[in-house]
Amino acid sequence: MTKYTVVSPRVGTPGAEFDADLAVMRGANIEALVAGGFIKVSAPKPAKNAKKDIDTNEE
């Protein structure tokens, strides 16, 4: 699921996550908000370090 970040204070607190589902329920056009610069697609979080998933405990 695509996540969005608030850019313009007209739609929320800048930097906060934009609740697209709630906005759509309230009649927002997400594509228009992105095109107008009100919100932006959040950058995907960096993948978790693979080493963390490996059990290095030799016991």
Partner 1 sequence: MATTTYLSNPDVTIATVNLRDQCTAATLTRTVEALESTAFGDTARFNVGGLENNELTLTLYMSYAATETYATLASLVGTQCNVLVSPQAPTTPNTYSATNPGFILTGTYLESLPVINATMGELSTIDITFTGGSSSVDVS
Question: Which of 33, 27, 43, 29 lies closest to 12, judged by CA?
Answer: 33
Q: How far is the CB of 26 from partner 1 (least distance, A)?
A: 5
Size of the site for partner 1 (CB under 8 A): 17
Question: What is the torsion angle, in degrees rounded to the nearest 10, for the CA atoms of residue 47, residue 14, residue 10 and residue 8?
Answer: -70
The reply to whether 27 sits near partner 1 by the rule CB under 8 A is yes
Question: What is the torsion angle, in degrees rounded to the nearest 10, for the CA atoms of residue 40, residue 28, residue 21 and residue 44?
Answer: -10
One symbol per residue from 40 to 59: x for binding partner 1 (CB under 8 A), - otherwise; what is it? --------------------
Q: Which residues bind partner 1 (CB under 8 A)?
A: 7-12, 23, 26-29, 32-33, 35-38
